[in-house]
Amino acid sequence: MLTSVIGGARIPAGPRSYRSTDPSRTSETVAEVSLAEAGDLVRACRAAREAQDAWRDVPAPVRGQVVAAVGRLVEANKAALAAIVTREVGKPRAEALGEVQEIADTCAFFLGEGRRLYGQTVPSEMPDKQLFTFRDPVGVVTVVTAGNFPVAVPSWYIVPALLCGNAVVWKPAEYAAACADAFYELFAHAGLPDGVLNVVHADGPETFRGLERALDEGLVDKVGFTGSTEVGSRIGELCGRHLQTPCLELGGKNPMVVAEDADLPLAVQGALFSGFGTAGQRCTSLGTAIVHESVHAEFVRLLDEATRAAAVGDPAGDVLFGPLISERFADGFEKVLGWIGPGHTVHGSSATGRITAAAPREGFAGDPEAGLFYHPVIVDWVGPGDELFMNETFGPIIGVARYRTLDEAIALANAPGYGLSASIYTADPAKVFAFRRRISAGMVSVNNSTSGAEAHLPFGGNGRSGNGSRQSGMWVLDQFTRWQSMNWDTSGRLQKAQMDVLEIAPDLGFRL
C-alpha cells in the first residue's frame, strides 16, 4: 500500500484507498494507494514551511548540485522508470523513455541555473548610493499534476521550484501513483532534506479542501496546476482570494493549419503523431486540422491511409498509441464520440469506439478485450457550430475543417478560445509570420506538429489554456522567485529620490 510522504516519513494508511490498474490489462493492479484527507495536505504544507528556511539558506549552486544528482539518478534508472510509466498509464515504451529523458534534460538545464540566479547592480541617480536586485524564493509551492505525463510535467514544476530555494508539496494523480512514488524516491535519494519535497496522494475534492485551508492559514505561497480548464479556473479563483497568481497549465484545442503550398506527406506525419500519439491524451494534442480547400480532399485521403496503417495496441510494443489512461478517460471519450453528427464524415479505422472482437481493428497488437483500447477517429467537415470543434476531446480523434483564406483559417484556429499550441504547414514565410502574429497560442510550430516541448523553451498557454504563466527554461524562474530591490546609501546623509538630484541645465534655446 503506497502512502503519502510528509516531512520525510510515510504516513499511516487511511480508511480510503484507490486501485491503480494497468490500462492495457485492467484486471491487473499496479498499485494500491491510500488516499489522504484534506488535513494531511495542510500538514504537508506545514512541514514544507518548517523545512523551507534551511533549504533557502543552502547556496543556490549547491542546490544545483542536488538537481544534478536527481538527473544522474533519473538517467541511471531510465528504463525502470519508463517501464512503470508504460504499465501504469499505457504510454508506448518509446514515448515513456522520451518522457523520462525530459526529466534528465530539465535537471541538466537547471543545474546551471543554480549559478545563474542573477540579480543586477543598477546605477543610482544620486552619488554614493548603490542599487541592487535579488531573486528570492517564494516559499512553499503546492503542485497538482495530471497523470498523462506522470513524471515529466511534475519535473517542470518541482525541479525549478527546488532549485530556487522553495519547499514543495506535490499532489500527483491517483491513477499514476506508482509513477509518483518512483519519482519521489529518486528525488529523496538525491540528498534532499526531509520536508523539502512532500507527496500527498489525495482525490480532487480533498485536495481542494486542503488547499483552501492551507491558503487560509498562510502556508502556501504559490500554486502550480496542470489539468482541466474547469478545475484550473476554480484554483485560479481560490488563489485570487489570497492575491496570489497560480501557474496554470490547462487544456488545449490545438489547431494545425495546412496551407495550399504545404508538404502534405509531412503534414500528415505531424497530424498522425500529434493527434494520436499518447492516444490523443496530451494538452498539446492536435484538435482540428484546418486545411485549405484546394488540398483538403487529398490531405484527408492521406491521413486516413496513414491512420489505418498505424499500429495500435499493447504499449510494450512498437505502436503509435496504446490504451486510454483509465476508465474515467474512457468514459469521457465515449461522450466525445457522441458529438459526431450526421453532417460529419468519419475516417481512420474500421469502426469507432472501443476496439473489441465485435468491432476489431486490423493489425491490432495484443488482446483488445483486456484493456481500454479505442479506434482512432478522423472526423471531417467540423466547424464552429460543433461541440467537437469547440471543446478539448482528450482521446484519439482529429477534426478536419476547410478554409479559403488565411484570415479565415486564423479565425477558425482562434474560435474555441484555447491558446496553448498551434502549427502551420507552409513554404511561405509571409504566411508564417502573419499566422504567428495573430494566433492566440503561446507556442507556435512551423512545418512541425502541435506536440513536442524542449526543456529550455517556455511552455504554456493563454485563454482557456492558462493564465499566461510559463514553464521550462529561464522563464519559469519568474514563477518560483520574487524580485527584491535594495538601495544602500553610503553618503552619510538623507538623499531623497527625485528631489535631491543633481541638475545640469541645458541651453534648449540654442539653434545652429
Q: Which residues are catalytic?
A: 249
Contact 56, 203 (CB under 8 A): no
Give the three cell numbers for residue 243: 492575491
Decide: helix, strand or coil at residue 206. Answer: helix
Start-to-end Cα distance in the chain: 87
Residues 6+ apart with CB under 8 A from 115: 60, 61, 64
Contact 144, 227 (CB under 8 A): yes
- Cross-sheet strand order for the sheet of 345-347: 345-347, 377-380, 397-403, 286-292, 254-258, 421-425, 443-446
Rounded CA separation 306/320 (Å): 11
Handedness of CA 387, 389, 392, 397 (dihedral sign): positive
Q: Which helix (H) or strand (E) holds 136?
A: strand 129-137
Q: To which residue does cell 494538452 refer?
A: 283
How would you class 355 by CB atoms within 10 Å of its CB: exposed for 0-12, middle for 13-18, buried for 19 or more? buried
CA nearest neighbour of 417 among 384, 373, 451, 395 = 384
Rounded CA separation 120/298 (Å): 56
CA atoms within 13 A on the CB side of 411: 9
Q: Nearest 5°: CA angle at 278, between 427 and 21?
A: 175
- Cross-sheet strand order for the sheet of 481-489: 121-123, 129-137, 481-489
Give the three cell numbers for residue 8: 520525510
**Between β-strands 140-144 and 167-171, what pairing exists: parallel, antiparallel or unpaired?**
parallel
Would you give the DSSP letter of residue 368? G
Contact 255, 413 (CB under 8 A): yes
Rounded CA separation 31/19 (Å): 6
- Cα-flanking dihedrals φ and ψ of residue 89, to 5°? -120, 5
